[in-house]
Amino acid sequence: MSLKLNDKTLFQSKALIGARMCESSSGSRVEVFDPATSQVLGTVPEMNSRDTQDAISEAESALSAWRSLTAAARSDLLRAWFQLVTDASEDLATLITAECGKPMAESRGEVTYAASFLKWYAEEATRAYGDIIPPHQPDKRLFVIKQSIGVAAAITPWNFPAAMILRKVGAAFAAGCTMVVKPAPQTPFTALALGVLAGRAGIPAGVLNIVTGSIDSSLEIGTAICKSSTVRALSFTGSTKAGISLAEQAASTVKKVSLELGGNASFIVFDDADIEGAVEGALAAKFRNSGQTCVCANRFFVQAKIHDEFIQKLTAAVKRLRVGPGNE
């Protein structure tokens, strides 16, 4: 399937390890589908534990030079990346809609949201202040210096393929960490496009590595990341079940683990509510982003007095929704 991109070089079908856009060591590839049409968008390498270790090694090799840069230098690179992401916003939105399925308006909004993390962390990079603590003895001096933890990894979901990556990577880069990113099997092309833009921004080879895979190989990749003593931090957004498994595996190397796991959101309507406003809110809460957000309503509680009126108006509103490809 051919996508209409202003910059066709943003559509990459190989993983990013060090300075190389490369295939998997096994040579196997996995298909990526447009969820609206079931058409094949393309294929990406189905990487394994060996490839993951290669990515970790590249991140480790790049770490010393990257963490040695001044905070101002890393800030400048994040700003440059922010500008390139902003300039390529329409192409990135097209990729997001194609592989994720959300409407173009929401994809454009995600790109703006995603880029804002780079801008934010570009500012925060220069504010990595330490602390001076009053000593307990007159001949002692106590102070805190903030340093990067080392190689970090991110495993991200498909529902926000740009925002979840830049939120994690922006923070890590600002702190002086190098990264191995494992995007969701359903949405690798957005991640790879962001990798292309990172290189153009001047971020050195090996600082950002992107390992692609299938649903099956994701387990192998995740295990390799968790078991590696080189990777010192892991950030994961996804299901509670997967998060528990990753935390258990990461414990063997005492990693710093950040988990954002599945939500359980209730939508509650009291009998003194504005019914029209409640219906509008319910549509947004339930159907935004194809109904796939961590705060998407999965239970509705409506007081008996307004139950029938709310159901009637909500049903009518849902019937007006149009299902179809996000670019239409």
Q: Which of 22, 23, 60, 294 is catalytic?
A: 294
Task: Number of helices (H) and strands (E) in the chain: give both, helices first.
Answer: 10, 13
Q: Which of 23, 90, 124, 260 is catalytic?
A: 260
Strands 131-133 and 40-45, sheet pairing: unpaired
- CA dist., res. 111 & res. 160, Å (int): 9
Read off the DSSP letter of residue 292: -
User: What dihedral angle (degrees, nearest 10) is formed by the CA atoms of 98, 84, 208, 290?
Assistant: -30
294 is catalytic: yes
**DSSP code per residue over 167-184:** HHHHHHHHHT-EEEEE--
Radius of gyration of the chain (CA): 22
**Residue 120, token pair as written in the block:** 């934010």
- Taking CB atoms within 8 Å and a gap of at least 24, the contacts of 306-310 are 306/269, 306/271, 306/273, 306/275, 309/275, 310/269, 310/275, 310/278, 310/279
**Catalytically active residues, by annotation:** 260, 294
